[in-house]
Amino acid sequence: MDCHSLGQGLDAASFKVRTIPFNGDDSATEEILDPDFGEAAIGRVTPVDFELWWITLSRAYGKCSGDLLVQERVDVQTGIKMILKL
C-alpha cells in the first residue's frame, strides 16, 4: 500500500484544521485544511462511496433550487467524469 497513488478526482474523507503563522508572524495566524484520504482511518481505508452521493446530492440540489448552472460548470462536469472514472 505504500506505493499506491490516489486516483484523480478522489475527495478527502475528512479534514483537520491546522493553525499556522501568517506571513512568518507568530502573532497573526491563519487556519488551513489538511485533507485526510484515509491515512487516519482504521485500516487506512478510504471511503469512496460518498463520491456517488456527491453526484446524487448535486442533482437533487439542482432540481430543488432550480439552479442548474452549477451542474453545467466545466469544473463540476470534470469532477463528475473523474468520479465515474474512479
Residue 61's pLDDT is 87
User: For 1-86, where are the alpha helices, taking DSSP H only?
Assistant: 49-65, 69-72, 74-85
**Coil, strand, or helix at residue 45?**
coil
CB 54 within 8 A of CB 62: no
Q: What is the per-residue pLDDT across 18-77, written as a single tens digit (0 to 9) for each?
A: 888 887 777 888 888 887 766 666 555 555 667 777 788 888 888 889 988 888 889 888
Who's near 10: CB < 8 A, 6+ residues apart?
Answer: 37, 46, 48, 51, 86
- Which helix or strand (DSSP H or E) is residue 32 part of? strand 25-36
pLDDT tier, 1 (very low <50, low <70, confident <90, very high otherwise): very low
